[in-house]
Structure 1
C-alpha cells in the first residue's frame, strides 16, 4: 500500500538514468519567445502577466534589489508551471523532491545574505543582537538569531515540498476511495467525486500560490539585505 501511495513521488528513470533534467526543462516550452514584430495573444498575455508579477514583486526594492528582477520572475514562472504540470495524470512533479527545493532555496538565500554582508555589514550584523538586550542574554540571542538565519532556506524548501506533496496525496487517496466506492455505494461515490473535483481546483490554486509564496519570501530576504 505504501509503495502504491508514494509511487508518484519516485524519481522517474529511463535505462537506469534519471530523466528529471528533461522534466525540469519541459516548462520552458510553455513560454514561447516573440519571433516577429507583432505578438500573438499568447505572448501578449504572457508579457502582461510577467509585468504584473514584476511590478508587485519589485515595488518595495531599491535599485540594487531590482537587479534580481529577471531571476525572481523566472523563478516564479518555473515553479508555477512545474506545479501545474505535475497535476496532470501520469506526470512527475519535481517540486515534491526536497533535494530540488533545497537546490533552489540555498543559493538564492546565500546570495541575498552575502550581498547583505557585503553592502550593509553593520546592519546585517545588528540583526544578530537587538538593541537594548541585557548583557546576560547576549550569547543566547546571538545563537538563536544565527540558527534562525540558517533555518530560512530549510523553511523555504520544506514549505514548498510539504504543501505540494500533501495535495498530491489527498488527490490520490480520494481518487482511490471514489473508485472503491463505485461498486459499493454509487451516491457516496458521487459525493467523493465532487470532493475530488473541488480538491483538484484547490490544488491548481495552491500550485500558483506556493510559487508566489516561495518567490515572495526570497524577495523579502533580498529586501532585508539590500
Structure 2
C-alpha cells in the first residue's frame, strides 16, 4: 500500500479509497445506527495498533469492552498496550480529549498512527437548539480545526463518525454539523445497511478520486 495511506483491512473499501485512509487529512463516516461505523473504527484501530503505533480513540458512544476485545482477537494484549481510550461525558470534555490527542501526536514522543473521534456530534446534538447550539457549533468547530491542523502537520490520519438526521424537505438522510464538517473532511463516506452482515459504503467526496461505492462485511473480528 502507498506510504501516504492507512489501510482499513476491508479490501474493497481500501480499493475504493486508493489504498486506505489518507494520512494528512480527516475522513468522515456517517450513516444511521447499525450501519457499522463503530465496528469499522475499531477494526482500523486494531489494525494500526498491531503495527506498534499508538491509537488515540475518543469514544462518546459507549464502546463495549467485549466488542473491543472481540475485534482485537488473539492480539488483544498488543492492541490494548497501544491504545489510549478516552470516554468524555460532555462537549467540553470531548474538547480536552481532542486537545490531548493532538498534543501527543505533535510531540512525537509516541508514534501516533491514528486518531479516532466516535462520534464527533453526539454531544453537539444534545446541545441543540437555539443559542446553545451556536456555542456548541463553535466549540466543535475549534476541535475539528485542531484535528485538521494535526493531520496536516504531522501526517496522522483522523477518522471521525457523524450522526445523521432526516431532511424533511429533501426526504434524505443527512449528516449533522453543517457545512464546516463537510468542508473539514477531505474524504466523506456514507455507510448503508445491506442484507445480513453486509454493508455498503458510498464515497461522496475525495480530493483525487471519483465517487463510487463498495461492499464490506461485518465479522466477529471486525470487517472484511
Scaled by the length of structure 2, the TM-score of the pair is 0.29
Per residue, is there more strand in 1 or in 2?
Answer: 2
Query: Could you say which structure has the larger radius of gyration?
Result: 1
Scaled by the length of structure 1, the TM-score of the pair is 0.29
